[in-house]
Amino acid sequence: MRKLWDNNRDYHSVANTDQIKVHHLQLNLDVDFDKQQLVAQATLQFNRCEDCNELVLDGRDLIIDTITDNSGRLLEFSIEHINERQGEKIIIAVGDDINQVTISYRTSPKAQGLQWLTPEQTLGKQVPYLFSQSQPVNARSWIPLQDTPKARITFSAAVKVNNGLRAVMSAANSDIMPADGVFQFEMEKPIPTHLLALAVGDLAYGAISDRCGIYTEPVMLAKALAEFEDTEEMILAAESLLGPYPWDRYDMIVLPPSFPFGGMENPRLAFITPTLIAGDKSLVSTVAHELAHSWTGNLVSNATWRDLWLNEGFTTYFTNRLVEKIYGKEQAELEWVIEFGRLKEEMISMPLAAQTLPANVQQQDANDAFNRFTYDKASMFVHELEARLGRNDFDQFLFDYVQHFKFQAITTETFIEYAKQTLLVQYPEAISESELMTWVYGEGLPQWFVGPTSISLDKVDLALQQLKLGDSAAKLNVAGWRVHHWQYFIKQLPLQLTQLQLTDLDSVFGFSGSQNAELACDWYSVAIRNNYEIVLPKVAAFLGHIGRAKFVKPLYNELLIAGYEQQALAIFQQARAGYHPSLQVQLDALMQQL
C-alpha cells in the first residue's frame, strides 16, 4: 500500500514554520580563511502563535556558542541529530514575550553550503576565494534558520573580510570598498532561504547596463562581459512578457569552475558557471534561465522540494521564449528539441513511478528532485498549454498566475486548484481536468503528446544517415552548423561505434578537447561507452578542472558502467578536493559502491 504523504509538509526541514514564522534575518559574519570558518551572529525576528514556546530551526554541523533573547538574556536550547542529509534540529525555548533570538555560532570547515578555495584553485592564483551554494538544503550549514522554501524572509548583513577582498551577496551590493573591510547588505523583499548567497574573493566588476553587470575574477571579466553582453536585452524581453523586473538590479557573478551548477538564481546576484563562456554565446540560454527565475522561482516559488517543477518547468519554458525573442525561432526550436531529447534519454533509465511532475523525494535526498522530469517534462507541459490556449491567451494566463502568487511559496495542489478556477473555466475546450491531472500526476509523457521538431535538424539527420551507410566523416556537409546541431548530432550517434568510426569522427571534427563543455561532455560519454580509450587522459583533465555536476556525475557513471572503475577512482581521488562539498558528498556515495 502506497504511503499517503502530507503534501503541505516539507519533509526536508524540521522547522516548526506552522507555529512560528521567521520573517527577518540579521547576519553578522566574520570571514576567516585561515580556519575556513564563518564566525557569526544570526538574529531571527519572528511571529508566533500564542501557545508556542519553542522555536525549532534547521542546522548542520554548526557550532553554537550562545542563544539570547531580545534583551540579551541567555536562552536554553538543545540540538538533536536527525541524519546526514537533514543535519540537526535546533530547539530553542522562547517565552511569551520573545519575538527575536540571537544565535552566536561558528561554521564547520566541512559545511556543505560553503566552498573555500585556496589561491591555487582560483584563476588569479594569488588570494583565496569563498562562495556559498544554499540550494536545496545547505543554507542550514552556514546559518541556523528555517531552511525550507516555505519560509520567506527579508535579511540584512554585515560581512567582515580582513584581507582586502570583496564580499557580495544576494542583496543590494555596493561598488565601494569599505575601509574597515565590513560590507553592508540589505534585501528588503522576502526570499526563500535557499536563495541566501555569499561570495568573497578578488572580484572585479563590469557594467552591462545601468541595472546589470558582472562580478568575477579580473582575468575573466572581459570574456564574461563579451559572452553575456545581451543580458539587458534579455531583461527587456522578459519584462515584455511578465511585467517589470521585480528585484531592482540583475547582477551576475561568474564563479570558479568548481561551482556545481550551470547557474543559481540568487536575487540580485545570479551565480554563473564559467563553463558557459564558449566564445560564441552558444550557451547563454542558462543566463536566460536564471533571469527567468526572477519571476518563476524567486517571485513565485515551490513550497517543498516535491514541488520544484513549478520553478523549473515554467522557467525552462520561459527560457525558450527569451531565446526565441533574442536569438530567433530557429535557435529556440533547436534548444527545445535537444531538451526533449534529454528527457527521452532519462525516461529510459528512470523508474516509471518517478516520472511525474511532483518529485517523489519525501524520504530521499532533496538533490534527487533535480532531474529531467522536474525541468523538461514540466516544460513540455507548459509548452502544450501554450499550444492549446494560443500564445496570446497563454501569456495572459502566465502573467496573471505570477501576479496572483508573487512573493508566495505554493504546492502542486495549490497550482492545480488555481488552474481549475482559471484555465478550466476560461478555456474548457482547450484542456480538461483529466488531461491536466494526467500531465501532473501521470507517469511518463501523456500518450497524445507529440514532441517538438525542427526542420533545421534535417541536415543533421541526413549526415547521420550517411554515417550509417558507411560514409566517412570528411564526406559530411556540416557547413553552417551551430553548436546545437553538433549537440544533436553527437546525441543521435549510434549507441555502438567501432574504433575506426570514433577515430574518424574525432580526427575530422576535433571533439576531444572541445572548448565547449557541453559538446565535450556529450562526446566523452559516447567515447567511454565505446571504449575509445585514447580520450581517457582528456576525460581525466576535464573532470579535474570542471566541477559542474551536470557534467561530472554522468561522466563518472559512464566510466563505472564501461568497466573503468579503477580509472574513475584514481581521477576522483585526484580531483575531489576541487569539487564543491555538496558534490563531494554525492560522489563519495557513488565511489563507496566500488
- So which residues are the catalytic ones? 290
Q: Which cell goes with 172?
A: 543590494
The strand order across the sheet containing 87-93 reads: 54-59, 87-93, 77-83
Q: What amino acid occupies position 325?
A: K
Amino acid, res. 27: L
From CA 44, how far away is CA 26, in angstroms rounded? 7
Cell of 588: 563519495
Question: 3-class DSSP state for residue 168?
Answer: strand
**What is the secondary structure of 238-268 as a DSSP string?**
HHHHH-S-TTS-EEEEE--TT-SSSEE--TT
H/E run at residue 291: helix 285-292
Q: What's CA 427's distance to the chain center, in Å?
A: 33
CA 94 to chain centre: 36
Cα 339 from Cα 325, distance rounded (Å): 18
Can you point out the beta strands (E) in 336-413?
408-410
The C-alpha atoms of residue 369 and residue 311 are separated, in whole angstroms, by 12
CA torsion sign, 384 to 304 to 397 to 247?
negative
Helix (H) or strand (E) holding 20: strand 20-32
Nearest to 335 by CA among 277, 270, 379, 386: 379
CA-to-CA distance for 375 and 364, rounded, in angstroms? 18
Q: 3-class secondary structure for 427-479?
A: CCCCCCHHHHHHHHHCCCCCCCCCCCCCHHHHHHHHHHHHHHCCCCHHHCCCC
Long-range contacts of 467-474 (CB under 8 A, 24+ apart): 467/493, 467/494, 467/501, 468/494, 472/504, 472/508, 473/504, 473/505, 473/507, 473/508, 473/509, 474/504, 474/508
Within 10 angstroms of residue 318's Cβ, the number of other Cβ atoms is 26
Phi and psi at residue 158, to the nearest 5°: -125, 120
Pairing of strands 87-93, 152-161: unpaired
- Give burial (CB, 10 Å; 0-12/13-18/19+) of 86: buried
For residue 285, give the C-alpha cell: 540560454
Yes or no: say if 8 and 303 are a contact pair by the CB < 8 Å rule.
yes
Specify the DSSP element, H or E, that contains 537.
Answer: helix 536-545
- Which one, of 395, 397, 398, lies nearest residue 425 by Cα? 397
Task: Report the chain's terminal Cα–Cα distance, integer Å.
Answer: 34
Q: Are 292 and 398 in contact (CB under 8 A)?
A: no
Total Cβ atoms within 10 A of residue 594: 10
Written as one string, the DSSP assignment of 540-558 is HHHHHH---HHHHHHHHHH
**Cα-only R_g, the chain:** 24
